[in-house]
Amino acid sequence: MITDKEFDLVAQNAHVLAGALAVLGSIALWGPSSKLPATVMMIAFAAIKEFWYDQQYESPEVRGSNLRDFTFYCVGIAFGWILFAVCA
């Protein structure tokens, strides 16, 4: 059985991965100049998803902290930028 802490760890890792893949995937598909538009779109998506969709359609037990989830999306986006800068 998965505990709440284990589920939260998996969920936050997924948020970080989604943010990083939005940036790195756009670079892989359309080149380095696409990372800024991808960042803006991912931040908009994360904000809408966490602060509107989850608030409307998820129970408090399921949704957890909207701000925390949004922050982990942003951490993933920053990680994508840093990884690109280091590896480019």
Least confident of 5-9, 31-35, 58-62: 58-62
- Residue 2's pLDDT is 67
Token pair of 61 as six digits: 């037990």
Instruction: Name the residue with tokens 């803006």.
Output: 40
Instruction: Give me 78's structure tokens.
Output: 């920053």
Rg (C-alpha) for the chain, rounded Å, is 14
Amino acid, res. 75: V
pLDDT in tens, 77-87: 999 999 999 99
- Looking at residue 60, its pLDDT comes to 81
Q: Tens digit of pLDDT for each residue in 37-72?
A: 999 999 999 999 999 999 999 888 777 789 999 999
Among 83, 80, 87, smallest CA distance to 38 is for: 80
